[in-house]
């Protein structure tokens, strides 16, 4: 089972404020632990929304809106992707995630299970995804 630990954006992350050394050390230690346990698949921070864009689909049309976007609490500042054997194991790892805003500050992470191809009804469309690399869903 794959789970994504989603770090919610903050005013600081949207302003491009880089994490301070103590937080970087805590994050490095946590991710080293995940790697040693063999559950870490990927982890990255994301650039502020000012450096991104959104594509909206409406009525058969696509429109592009450049960032920044107003609601930072609705955005993602980074993620960690893990592969574990159970929801309980994912919960245990996510409880150990360092506070992404720094100790003593308010922050929020969200944890979501990633769809696996086995979650979908078998069919030619799913086999096309499986042929890509067995990971895409």
Rounded to 5 degrees, φ, ψ at 103 are: -55, 135
Most confident option among 17-21, 47-51, 79-83: 79-83
| pLDDT above 90: percentage of residues in the chain | 86
Does residue 47 lie in a domain region?
Answer: yes
For the chain, the domain total comes to 1
Does residue 90 lie in a domain region?
Answer: yes
Does residue 74 lie in a domain region?
Answer: yes
Does residue 75 lie in a domain region?
Answer: yes
Whether residue 47 contacts residue 111, with contact meaning beta carbons closer than 8 Å, is answered with no
What is the DSSP secondary-structure string of 11-78? Answer: HHHHTTPPPPHHHHHHHHHHHHHHHHHT-EEEEEE---GGG-EEEEEETTEEEEEESP-S-GGGSEEE
**Residue among 67, 65, 77, 66 at smallest CA distance from 11:** 77
**Residue among 34, 35, 13, 38 at smallest CA distance from 100:** 13
DSSP 111: E
Does residue 137 lie in a domain region?
Answer: no
Distances from the Cα of 102 to the Cα of 8, 14, 79, angstroms: 13, 16, 16
User: Residue 110 is part of which domain span?
Assistant: 2-132
Asked if residue 74 has pLDDT above 90, the reply is: no
Does residue 41 lie in a domain region?
Answer: yes
pLDDT tens per residue across span 81-126: 999 999 999 999 999 999 999 989 999 999 999 999 999 999 999 9
Query: What is the C-alpha to C-alpha distance for residues 122 and 66, in angstroms, rounded to an integer?
Result: 38
CATH of the domain at 6: 3.30.70.1060
Looking at residue 73, its pLDDT comes to 65
């Amino acid at each position: 089972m794959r789970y994504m630990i989603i770090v919610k954006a903050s005013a600081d992350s949207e302003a491009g404020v880089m994490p301070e050394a103590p937080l970087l050390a805590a994050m490095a230690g946590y991710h080293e632990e995940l790697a040693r346990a063999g559950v870490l698949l990927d982890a990255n921070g994301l650039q502020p929304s000012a450096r991104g864009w959104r594509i909206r689909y409406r009525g058969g049309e696509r429109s592009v809106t450049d960032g920044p976007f107003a609601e930072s609490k609705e955005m993602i500042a980074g993620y960690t992707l893990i592969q574990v054997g159970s929801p309980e194991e994912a919960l245990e790892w996510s409880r150990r995630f360092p506070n992404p805003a720094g100790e003593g500050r308010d922050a929020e992470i969200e944890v979501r299970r990633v769809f696996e191809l086995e979650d979908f009804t078998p069919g030619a469309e799913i086999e096309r995804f499986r042929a890509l690399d067995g990971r895409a869903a």
